[in-house]
Amino acid sequence: MSEVENRPTNFIRQIIDADLESGKHTSVQTRFPPEPNGFLHIGHAKAICLNFGIAEDYKGLCNLRFDDTNPEKEDIDYVISIQEDVKWLGFEWAGDVHYSSDYFDRLHGFAVELIEKGLAYVCFLNSEESREYRGTLKAPGKNSPYRDTSIEDNLSLFEKMKKGEFKEGECSLRAKIDMSSSFMCMRDPIIYRVRFAHHHQTLDKWCIYPMYDFTHCLSDAIEGITHSLCTLEFQDNRRLYDWVLENVSIDITPHQYESSRLNLEYTVMSKRKLNSLVEEKLVNGWDDPRMPTIAAFRRRGYTPASLREFCKRIGVTKMDNTIEMGVLEACIREDLNDNAPRAMAVLDPIKLVIENYPEGQVEELTVKNHPSDESQGTRIVPFSKELYIEAEDFREEANKKYKRLVIDKAVRLRGAYVVTAVRCDKDDEGNVTTVYCTYNEDTLGKNPEDGTKPKGVIHWVAAEQSLDAEIRLYDRLFTVANPAAEDDFKSVINPESLITINHAKVEPSLKNAKPEQAFQFERQGYFCRDNKESLDRLVFNRTVGLRDTWAKISG
């Protein structure tokens, strides 16, 4: 199958194919235009994969352009984090990073041109008056009393705005379109406003800043964007996008195409809501592994390949829908099942003492790093008389469905011997603290000579050689699939979205785990070493369980 035949298809790619075939375009130029006012989330990952993916497939170019027209809410730290996210996902932008602020001089010139054509005016209505004049979805707006100011006066007033001679909110520059339009965005929208704000790129050069709808289309045109891809909430705004380009002197007129945004269960995608979670310390920052940001998924142990695969699976359509969290989790589970090495970690340890094992003896057992991938090699795991096992892996009595350690029943210790429990010690509250067992010396790598096969396999770590670790069990941040529909979305935060285990024991090979390195902890799930904690501490974050337990709960 050829590279072209192997491409995914959707309505946008069909449009591009037709444009190239007809000669409307001879190459493809896209852009990813985030506003640097927060961390990127999983919805942005879809946009990144779409824009950069199309550019790659059509051997075109994709710009990274920051929509930095609102300096009060923007920060250079967000600029840096966004660049890191794009690179981490596996994409490279064309040339240098672009900023809308790179074009502020030209944008100002286009605004002056609109004034000179009688298509823009300086308006002194305050915010309350503007709302009154704007009308409603059912009633048309009415013209501003400043709409017919002369071109000469408007040029003078706009120059005064530029020089900082008006207060914030005192006036604005508006496009003169149609106050009776059925589309609210066409009712003389504001295209420039006064803001005395320090800008992370232009510093204090400007005290007037262009609005997004004026800036975006012109930035696309300046950069030669052929296909401007955005989400459906900008569908009506395409009329303003086209109006601006039709009424200024610019050679290239790109076209905007809209597709559905990503809605994911058990999350909120609003930057305002995400920011409130951070500001109110309901989560531990933008990269808290419970957040839907790319940085959070990375810290939790998701891989770039899994997010790209997720974006590929959900596709590109014009239909709004909500994707089940299980679809995303299946992508990372499949990736890590194939690629993550195995290791042993005991989260709720109790002692297992092998009474007939030689005192002081330590064996070095060779264990496969992956059950089906020989290329991942092997590791050495120490084995001794005293081990740790999971408390839930032992019962004094149990029915036949219980496949773990029971008094007088045999189980296999993963990669080691068959053992049989004989008795146990308990504390004052009746909790088992130590289990005593015997081992069959002739069962390393094979079943007992009598042909019996243990019904279960449990994991373990050598007590003396084990390492202390902190395990963070992350789960879905909300208890309902659509938290945004609640009157107070914060009222449905999952109280068990983070459970911290401070007394876990892990095998010594994990001492050398690198930040973000993924492992399957035998019978526990997939985990990665936290990328923010000091290397002096072993902290592992649960990425996802071995199977989808929420499907059973919700079913």
- pLDDT at 149 (0 to 100): 98
pLDDT at residue 4 above 90? no
Confidence at residue 48, expressed as pLDDT on a 0 to 100 scale: 98
| Side chain identity at residue 507, one-letter code | E
Instruction: Give counts: helices (H), strands (E), the chain.
Output: 13, 29
Of all residues in the chain, what percent carry a pLDDT higher than 70?
Answer: 97
Q: What is the mean pLDDT of residues 329-344?
A: 97
Amino acid 2: pLDDT: 43
363: helix, strand or coil? strand
Per the structure block, which two tokens stand in for 90?
Answer: 């596996």
Q: How far is CA 300 from CA 17, 41, 479, in A?
A: 38, 14, 19
- Both tokens of 47, joined, read 């946009």
Rounded CA-CA distance 183/175 in Å is 14
DSSP conformation letters of 480-517:
SS-GGGSSSGGGGB-TTSEEEEEEEEE-GGGGGPPTT-
pLDDT exceeds 90 at position 552: no
Residues spanned by CATH 3.40.50.620 within the chain?
11-259
Torsion region of 62: left, alpha or beta (phi above 0 gives left; psi -120 to 50 gives alpha) = beta
Query: Of the listed 7, 195, 261, 403, which one is catalytic?
Result: 261
CATH topology classification for 271-341+469-554: Ribosomal Protein L25; Chain P (2.40.240)
According to the model, what pLDDT value does residue 3 have?
Answer: 47
Backbone angles phi, psi at 326, to 5 degrees: -60, -30
Whole-angstrom distance, CA of residue 186 vs CA of residue 244: 11
Rounded distance, CA 192 to CA 101, Å? 13
The pLDDT score that the predictor gives to residue 535 is 86
β-partners of residue 526 are 520, 544
| Predicted pLDDT at 548 | 73
pLDDT band at residue 555 under the 50/70/90 scheme: very low
Instruction: Specify whether 537 is catalytic.
Output: no
CB atoms within 10 A of CB 356: 12
> What's the rounded Cα separation, in Å, for the pair 161 and 81?
33
State the Cα–Cα distance between residues 378 and 98, nearest whole angstrom: 47
Residue-by-residue DSSP string for 32-73: E---SSS--BHHHHHHHHHHHHHHHHTT-EEEEEE----GGG
- 523 tagged catalytic: no
DSSP H or E run through 529: strand 525-529
Q: Which member of 46, 176, 271, 385 is catalytic?
A: 271
CATH T-level topology, domain 11-259: Rossmann fold (3.40.50)
**pLDDT at residue number 337:** 97
- Mean pLDDT of the region 405-409: 94
Per-residue pLDDT for 7 more than 90? no
How far apart CA 387 and CA 187 sit, in angstroms, is 74
Instruction: Name the β-bridge partners of 541.
Output: 472, 528
pLDDT higher than 70, residue 6: no
Residue spans of alpha helices (H) in 175-259: 212-222, 238-246
Query: Which segments of the chain belong to CATH 2.40.240.10?
Result: 271-341+469-554, 345-459
pLDDT, tens digit, 9 for 90 and up, residues 193-218: 999 999 999 999 999 999 999 999 99
Average pLDDT for residues 323-330, to the nearest whole number? 96
Residue 24: is its pLDDT beyond 50? yes
CATH superfamily entry for domain 345-459? Ribosomal Protein L25; Chain P (2.40.240.10)
Q: Is 160 a catalytic residue?
A: no
CB 174 within 8 A of CB 144: yes
What's the rounded Cα separation, in Å, for the pair 394 and 401? 13
Which pair of structure tokens corresponds to residue 378? 């092997």
- Beta strand 418-426 with 498-506: parallel, antiparallel or unpaired? unpaired
Q: Structure pTM? A: 0.92
